[in-house]
Amino acid sequence: MTDFPGVPTGPRDGRRLRVLAAMSGGVDSAVAAARAAEAGHDVTGVHLALSANPQSFRTGARGCCTIEDSRDARRAADVIGIPFYVWDLAERFREDVVEDFIAEYEAGRTPNPCLRCNEKIKFAALLDKAIALGFDAVCTGHYATIVERADGSRELHRASDLAKDQSYVLGVLDERQLAHAMFPLGDTLTTKDEIRAEAERRDLAVAKKPDSHDICFIADGDTQGFLAQHLGTAEGDIVDEDGHRLGTHEGAYGFTIGQRKGLRIGHPAPDGKPRYVLDISPVDNTVTVGPAEALDVAALTAIKPRWCGAPPAGPGTYTAQLRAHGGETEVMAERIGETGLRVTFTEPVRGVAPGQAIVLYDDTRVVGSATIAATERAQAVAS
């Protein structure tokens, strides 16, 4: 029996764990399932069918929910020597991820569908079903670490290899979900090439399969076209900070805060500098653009906080991450009642949009996640 870091050889009472391994059809989840099985657990593989018509999802071995992916996952399970099933969660995925994505853009916000999928599908719908069937844990190929404290509680931490860390999209997990989560890859200081080499040693055919990067339910990668198909087109104005009309667009949902390219204004700003999207107003279908410095955000309010353990007792200093592949910035954060969060940045930050998630960290520990509701511009605060 091999004891990999991040893969317990058994729960606290010493018995063998029944583990449900979510197998996307990619190399990470396949190696994670293999490590859990080699550590001595009773592992069952499951692939989540997330579309009623999987052929409408991405093809070319780039996704996590296509017919190709389910076949790759099945072949990997056969090599590992574990039972394998396909579970149909297409309806739940459509309601909780796809429809949420469309509604958020329609409201002028910028959602993260991968984060929502982790919250609603992999660690809610899947975990609930797993527990009902008698499984002890759900295993995934995410790069994150779980630390068990002396009192038996569990903490979510960044992966040992910060370059591959995925704790940002797992910041929505609560204490109950962490109690049943297993991330066999999180503690390993190995490169992706070494993970692929391990897959090859294990004779897993997914060893050379490309990673998935885009949104799985947008087949051609054209987010604006996907939104237009579902929301239609509606001509509106592009204006400057003074309300002067600079151009038109076919739908405010096609823009994101901080966007520079594709504005189609047609003429430069008076100072000759680039202009960026500063605000999106779905009420009057207006997009406001302006200079880069107008993007500086000094503070924000967030809603729907989810805490990875006990919520903070009072104001505190943390670091915050604002996007999946972004860096950290120092903040002061304070809860507003039970459903709000006030965050002040030590230094202004850019590209912050309502709908995004902000994840708070105490060193490497994930404190919790919340959805950005509103931002305060540094220029406005200064004036």
Long-range contacts of 208-215 (CB under 8 A, 24+ apart): 209/25, 209/26, 209/27, 209/61, 209/72, 210/61, 210/62, 211/26, 211/27, 212/24, 212/26, 212/58, 212/62, 212/63, 212/64, 213/62, 214/58, 214/62, 215/101, 215/113
Q: Name the catalytic one among 64, 65, 139, 216.
A: 216
Cα–Cα distance, 143 to 104 (Å, whole number) = 27
By CB atoms closer than 10 A (0-12, 13-18, 19+), residue 317 is exposed
Instruction: Say how far apart CA 377 and CA 72 lie, in whole Å.
Output: 47
Q: Can 216 be counted among the known catalytic residues?
A: yes
Q: Which residue has the tokens 């574990």?
A: 82
SS3 311: coil
Place of tokens 């503070």: 299
114 is catalytic: no
- Given 114, 117, 139, 308, which residue is catalytic? 117
Cα-Cα-Cα-Cα torsion 185, 191, 195, 197, nearest 10 degrees, comes to -160
Residues with a known catalytic role: 117, 216
